[in-house]
Amino acid sequence: MVQRLRVTVVELPSRWGEPEEALAEVDEILSESTSELTLLPEASLTGYVSPDLEFDLRPFAEPIDGPTAQALAALARKHATHLFGPLILEENGQRFNATVGFAPNGEHIVTYRKRHPWIPETWATAGREPHPLFEIAGFRVTIACCYDIHFLADEAEDTLDAADVLLFPSAWVEEEDSRPRRLRALARRHRLAIAGANWGRGLLWVP
């Protein structure tokens, strides 16, 4: 019997400083979804860059048990999905561009701290932990975020080989989008499916 994993890749508009509105839209979107796994884009609850081209997300930083993480956990429970969403994480005096995951019962699954903040992300501390590998519905899942893609081949080859699914939240800004070429190559090389959630159009590849 072929195993299947239903995935929802959420597209959200570029807002700035309106997390309650963003979370309300996610709630509405998930009310029409029956997916086992849901992925939100990078920094999509706070915004990645302001209308004045301000990249400093430190004012939005929260601990792992803060209101944003609690809201994501509540949405995971309400809609019975494994929900992965962005968090500007404050931890031990440092701030990380993080992705946090919650099980359908609201249990915290994983926190991934972006290993390679993009050049304007001077506010963010680089994550030092390796790309995680965990299981959802019998599938092995890992995470990378946006600019990490330039380093995956060197840093995470064994993890990608072991994974069935790569979650790839991003706030991609290229005029000519190179994600399809880069991620398609990863999917073929490592024989894994990739779910890419962006603040524009999301993408999905299967090997």
Average of per-residue pLDDT across 92-101: 97
pLDDT, position 24: 96
pLDDT bucket at 207, cuts 50 / 70 / 90 = low
pLDDT, position 20: 94
pLDDT bucket at 203, cuts 50 / 70 / 90 = very low
Residue 52 predicted with pLDDT over 90: no
Contacts of 20 (CB under 8 A, 6+ apart): none
- Who wins on pLDDT, 157 or 206? 157
pLDDT bucket at 62, cuts 50 / 70 / 90 = very high
Cα–Cα distance, 129 to 166 (Å, whole number): 17
pLDDT, position 175: 75
193-197/108-113 β-pairing: unpaired
pLDDT bucket at 26, cuts 50 / 70 / 90 = very high
Digit-coded pLDDT (tens) for 107-133: 999 999 999 999 999 999 999 999 999
Cα–Cα distance, 100 to 108 (Å, whole number): 8
pTM of the entire structure? 0.93
- Who wins on pLDDT, 143 or 16? 143
pLDDT, position 4: 86
Beta bridge partners of 134: 141
Cα–Cα distance, 56 to 116 (Å, whole number): 16
Determine the length of the chain: 207
pLDDT bucket at 81, cuts 50 / 70 / 90 = very high
pLDDT, position 200: 56
For residue 170, what are its two tokens? 């991003």
pLDDT bucket at 206, cuts 50 / 70 / 90 = low
